[in-house]
A and B are shown apart, each in its own frame.
Chain A
Amino acid sequence: MALTLPLGEASDQDKWDNGGLERKRQLLIEIVLRSRLTALMVDGDTTCWVLEQELLRSYGVQTLGVDNGRDAIDLIASDAAFNLIIIEKILPVLNGLEVTRQICEIGMRCKMLAVTAYSGESERQAFLATSVDVFIEKPLDLEHLVPILRELDRQ
């Protein structure tokens, strides 16, 4: 007998936001990755880190997370390779902008996403100037993530 949990199936009662919840569910099954992708998350906030990890793991992406900029740099410098790096701006030890610069200097090639609690256009421009590929205002959402994973899977 199947165990059912709250909101385990779509119903009219679930569609309180014009089908928003159903749309999210659809996005979670929209792609099936053929490649084994890896991602590094760099975020000092536990809630955000865990949430991003779960989003990526839903698609079978292997994830690793660090909660400060120095550990991220040390990891990259030790030749750890990732298809995707997700980085927040405000981090302990080294901020996200500096981490991004140093990762570029090391020469690591991967998709880099700045995922940060947006505080203004200057923050967006500062990150884009460091060569991140995409700037996303938190939280990382499926609408942004799916096309990025699809692109990485094709490479």
Chain B
Amino acid sequence: MAASSTDPTQQLNDYIRTMHDQGILDDNFDQLLALRREQNPRFINELISMFTNDAEAYIAEITNALSLTEVDFSTIISKLHQLKGSTSGIGGHRMYQACCELRVAADDGDKDRCDELFLRVKEEFNTLKQCLDSISQMRSNIISNGTRSRRRRPL
């Protein structure tokens, strides 16, 4: 029996597909999905939360480093390296691309360009965060409602 459009799982699948189509997520997010843990169905949600918290901290540190009279490019590069790494792990494609561009500007010591590109990093982070929050919420609803179906094959 085909899943209807009101089926929460189908809705989640459709949403993730849309995020892929828009370039917000890439196949590294698929790797997370494949890692879905029977023992801990909330693993993906926990990882999303972890990423969001860490990314906000890195962004705060980069903000501070950029605001100094003597811009601390060393800290920017270091924190950006970590932000790139965690963003790639979560599958945040557009945000990752924005981080790469900012890295070039930081390597060049170009403050104006850094300011401009950091704005884009933050915009893409907000977009990615909204996307991941939506996915987390949908997953939480499905898990807490205990989506069960005698017609589905067991995991």
What is the interface of chain A, defined by CB distance below 8 A to chain B? Answer: 1-9, 13-14, 16-17, 20-21, 24-25, 27-28, 43-48, 50-51, 54-55, 58, 88-90, 116-117, 119, 137-139, 141-142
Query: Number of residue pairs across A and B with beta carbons under 8 Å?
Result: 134
- Bound complex: CA A12 to CA B148 (Å): 20
Do A45 and B34 form a contact, CB below 8 Å, given A5-B155, A6-B142?
no
The residues of B with any CB-CB pair to A shorter than 8 Å are: 3, 8-10, 12-14, 16-17, 20-21, 27-28, 30-37, 41, 43, 47, 50-51, 54, 78, 81-82, 84-86, 88-90, 103, 138-139, 142-143, 146-150, 152-155
Q: Are B35 and A54 in contact (CB under 8 A)?
A: yes
Sample 28 A-B pairs with CB under 8 A, ordered by A number. Answer: A2-B152, A2-B154, A3-B147, A3-B155, A4-B148, A4-B149, A4-B152, A5-B143, A5-B147, A5-B155, A6-B8, A6-B9, A6-B36, A6-B142, A8-B152, A16-B16, A16-B17, A20-B27, A45-B82, A48-B85, A51-B47, A54-B35, A54-B37, A89-B81, A116-B85, A119-B81, A137-B88, A138-B85
A154–B67 alpha-carbon span in the complex (Å): 53
> Contact check: which of A16, A28, A50 meets B34 at CB < 8 Å?
A28
Let me know if A117 and B82 touch, CB within 8 A. yes
Docked-complex contact A1 and B47, CB < 8 angstroms = no
Which residue, of B17, B31, B82, has the highest number of chain A Cβ atoms within 10 A?
B31
**Do A90 and B78 touch across chains, with their CB atoms under 8 A apart?**
yes
Q: Are B30 and A47 in contact (CB under 8 A)?
A: no
- B86, A45: Cβ atoms closer than 8 Å: yes
